[in-house]
Amino acid sequence: MTDLDRPSTCQQCGKPLPPARSTGRTRKYCSGTCRSAARRERSGEASRELENAARVHDHLTVDSRKDMLDVMADETGSEAADAAAADGREAARGLLGQLFAAESASPLDAIAFIQGAASEIAEGTQVAVERARTAGHTWAEVGQVLGISRQAAFQRFGRPVDPRTGQPMAAAMLPGAAERAAALLADLVAGRWAAVGRDFDERVAQKLDADGIAVLWARLTGMFGRLERVGEPLAFPAGDRTLVDIPLSFEAAERTARVSYDPNGKVAGLHFVPPGFT
């Protein structure tokens, strides 16, 4: 194929294509997003059926949130996603501004209000991710919008099924695992070494007593500096165990505290791994 025969614009969005490569297939699309969009369009009737099926779950979503989700454009381009994110931040700032300006709202009422809103947003995010998956978007695309890896997106929002039982693995997760792991980390940061190990199983307790826990934390702060921020804990199933990842921001590095719980609620592992570690 000559240069004159090669397309110069993206067949999906019409934007100019990057310079042609000397080897490989002829480029037709400017990005993986456009390639995926074209593939969905080619699926014809199947795509339309998927779109019709991609309705917000009535039993999970209140009417006001269904209205919001149903009018969102089905786009994955970075510009559209950035604009939508900006709109969301602006709406949240306006709502919080009204809350804090209200003289009748007490500080405790404000906390309860924000906590309730956060719970609704978390549920709405789950519904939106399920809608995106039903519409054919990949976990990589979902993760790109969320600013996380595709594995992290799957761990947070996926609904894996245990091949042995056919049941959702989330049903077998240890209740309250995220809260328990957050409490363990709080004890660690506060220097309550004995409290950190109170739920260790026998194997972990033999390897990591109170003195060993203190040494471990000293090594971490010696390598990475002071702990500056703790992220939200994320619990997800891993076979018979429940894992909880807690993002940690030190002065000089990012790490993830990973706590592993066995089915009896005992801590079967405590590790500090790089972000995205599998």
Token pair for 7: 């397309």
Rounded mean pLDDT, 76-82:
70
Confidence of residue 91 (pLDDT cuts 50, 70, 90): confident
Q: Give CA–CA dist 243/261, Å, rounded.
A: 6
Among candidate residues 194, 196, 203, the one with its CA nearest the CA of residue 259: 196
Residue 6 maps to a domain: no
User: Could you give the residue ranges of the DSSP H alpha helices within the chain?
Assistant: 32-42, 45-53, 63-70, 78-101, 107-134, 139-146, 150-157, 177-190, 193-196, 202-207, 210-224
Question: 262 and 199, same structural domain?
Answer: yes
Overall domain count for the chain: 2
Question: 155 and 185, same structural domain?
Answer: no
Question: 191 and 136, same structural domain?
Answer: no
Q: How far are the Cα atoms of 55, 65, 94 from residue 59, in angstroms, in the given order?
A: 11, 12, 28
Domain with residue 216: its CATH number is 3.10.450.590
- Give the best-scoring range by mean pLDDT among 78-87, 219-228, 233-242: 219-228
| Containing structural domain, residue 133 | 52-160
pLDDT score of 48 more than 50: no
Task: Give me the percent of the chain exceeding a pLDDT of 70.
Answer: 76
Rounded mean pLDDT, 7-36:
69
Q: Give CA–CA dist 198/216, Å, rounded.
A: 16
On average, the pLDDT of the chain sits at 79
Residue 37 maps to a domain: no
Minimum mean pLDDT range among 14-18, 81-85, 168-172, 263-267: 168-172
Condensed to tens digits (0 to 9), the pLDDT of residues 143-176 reads 888 888 888 888 778 877 777 777 776 667 889 9
* Boundary (domain end) residue, out of 126, 160, 194: 160
